[in-house]
Structures are given as C-alpha cells and as structure tokens.
Amino acid sequence: MGEEQTLEKEKNFINYEEIELVAIPHIDEQHRLFLKLTAEFYEFQNKNSENLNESFKVFIKKFVELIKIHFLDEEHILERISYPEYVEHRLEHENFIKKILEAVKKFDTGKDFVFNEFVHFLRDWVLNHISLWDIKYAEYISFLKKSAG
C-alpha cells in the first residue's frame, strides 16, 4: 500500500458508521464513547511526541474506567435475560481487561510497548467483540421479544 493510501485509510481510524448496533441505546452510546476516546489518543500520539507518557496514563485510566462500567452494565443485562453464553461472554471481557493491564505493565517497565500498536489493538478488539459477541446477545434479545410478542 502506498503512503498516500495508508494516510487515507488511517484518517478514518474509526468509521463510526460501521460500528454495529446492539439496539440498546446506552450500550451503543458507550461503544461509541470509548472508541472515540481511542481515536482521540490515536490522533494525539500521531502528532505529538512530547508528554506522550503522561497523556497515555490519562487516556488509559479513563479507558479502563469506562470499559469496566460498560462491561458491568452489559453483564447485568445478560444476567437479567439469563443469556445462555453469559459465562463465556464475561470471560471475553475479563480477558480484555487482563490484556490491557499486561500492556500497561509493559508500558510502565518500558518493554516492548508501542503506542500506535496498542491503540490499534484496542480498536480492533472492541470492533471485533461488538460484531462477534455483542451482536449475538442483541439477536437473542430480539428473539426473546418476538417470542414474547
């Protein structure tokens, strides 16, 4: 891929139109919010080399706070509907938090940590999780609604 094309592609670090919807407004809003936060840090680290460490600490603290609240919200919903894949889904969430904390440890010790790679990892994990896991419970909820109605 040429440099121009790479830049063109990276301009849309997140394409908001392509974030799949689970049709629970506050959950969709949370998905947008932490993807937006990730995109903001991505832009920042592309343009700045000063204060990068401090900014990263602020960013990742906020990201982890938001995602923990979000995962709890989602898990409460799945519990309420007795979602058959509740345990597996929750494990996915827990593994993501673990991976983030491992990366933060690498950042703290200055080993094998690349800001650019890490923000791509966050983005890809979230987008994949929504389209592979969250969409499944969204379909299950719509199935429950149909069966009830």
The two tokens of residue 108 are 């703290």
Q: Tell me how far apart the alpha carbons of residues 51 and 5 are, in angstroms, rounded to a whole number.
A: 29
State the binding string over 74-113 for Fe ion (x if CB under 5 A, else -).
x---------------------------------------
Question: Which of 1, 17, 19 minimizes the C-alpha distance to 9?
Answer: 1
x/- map, 36-75, Fe ion, by CB under 5 A: --------------------------------------x-
HSE (CB half, 13 Å, CA atoms) of 32?
A: 13
* Residue 134 binds Fe ion, judged by CB under 5 A: yes
Is 122 an interacting residue with respect to Fe ion (CB under 5 A)? no
Give me the residues that bind Fe ion (CB under 5 A), please. Answer: 74, 134
